[in-house]
Amino acid sequence: MLSIIISTYKPHNFTALEKNITETAGIPFEIIKIENPGTMGICEAYNSGAEKAKFENLLFLHDDVEFKTKNWVTILIKHLKDPETGALGVAGSNYIPSAPSGWFIEKGQKEMKENKSPAIALDGVFLSCTKAKFDNVRFNEEQIKGFHGYDCDFSLRMAKFYQNYIVHDIKIEHFSGGNPDRLFLDNNIKIRLNLGSNFNHLSNSQTETIAFRSFLRFYFKYYPVTVRNLCFTLRFFPFSKTRFNDQFQILTTYLQVIKYRKHQRSL
């Protein structure tokens, strides 16, 4: 059976989702509602919900989704029975770049077997695992504050011990997009500093370059261009994972950032 933990503060969202789950789940479940109008971070909310769970399978779910698949709980539990499986999601990434980033870096085709494909980082809209494996990882409420980065941190730490997967036979619709802000950036920096980026068997120079250039632009959106900050970003420079031509592109991005900031100060 399944314990579904939902952190919510919008009654209409929760009511609609509760009705949708009741109509589509197929087998017994429980919903653990954590009323959270911003009084606690998502890590704290989810950990407290998991402590109340009475079933051996857990699902951490956003409140603004709708299930399109009938009898999806049976499908999910079947996936969770694999002893090698860590966390399951409906979206995620099979590549972790050196630069701080969310789960959404993709590289190449994913191998799909039994309606699931290997992943490393997972999107927090839908995160599932057994209670036994959750107890070994839990959400990092000590370091990851607010509502960003919790999913990446949790799934990356799970990936240290087990294989995460994206499941393709459970379909949901998500009614809101992401909202990356400074806390998103700061939390993902913490994750890279804590966990590193040595999750991939092979490196991909193009993916590393795209991720690092995006990180630079995002970082200097919130932080001033100083020698100290420039040196800090170099901690994540993928020297050993990029070709010379791609390294040159990254250096060009550094020059663009410096030039733009000088222009802004002169206005």
Residues 238, 50: Cα–Cα separation, whole Å: 37
Average pLDDT over residues 50-55: 98
From-to residues of CATH 3.90.550.10 in the chain: 2-174
Element (H, E) at 202: none
At residue 31, the 3 state secondary structure works out as strand
Strand order in the sheet with 163-167: 29-35, 2-8, 57-61, 126-130, 85-89, 163-167, 116-119
Residues 41, 145: Cα–Cα separation, whole Å: 6
Beta strands 126-130 and 29-35: pairing type?
A: unpaired
Q: Is residue 255 over pLDDT 60? A: yes
Question: What are the Cα distances from residue 187, in Å, to 7, 155, 214?
Answer: 20, 14, 16
Better pLDDT: 39 or 72: 72
Strands (E), the chain: 2-8, 29-35, 57-61, 65-67, 85-89, 92-93, 116-119, 121-122, 126-130, 163-167, 172-174
Handedness of CA 95, 99, 100, 102 (dihedral sign): negative
pLDDT band at 265 (very low <50, low <70, confident <90, very high): low
**Cβ-based neighbours of 221, under 8 Å, separated by 6 or more:** none
Tell me the pTM. Answer: 0.93
Cβ-based neighbour number of residue 191 at 10 Å = 26
pLDDT band at 125 (very low <50, low <70, confident <90, very high): very high
Q: What is the pLDDT of residues 176-235, one digit of tens each?
A: 877 889 999 999 999 999 999 999 889 999 999 999 999 999 999 999 999 999 999 999
Domain 2-174 classification at class level? alpha beta
Handedness of CA 105, 175, 219, 103 (dihedral sign): negative
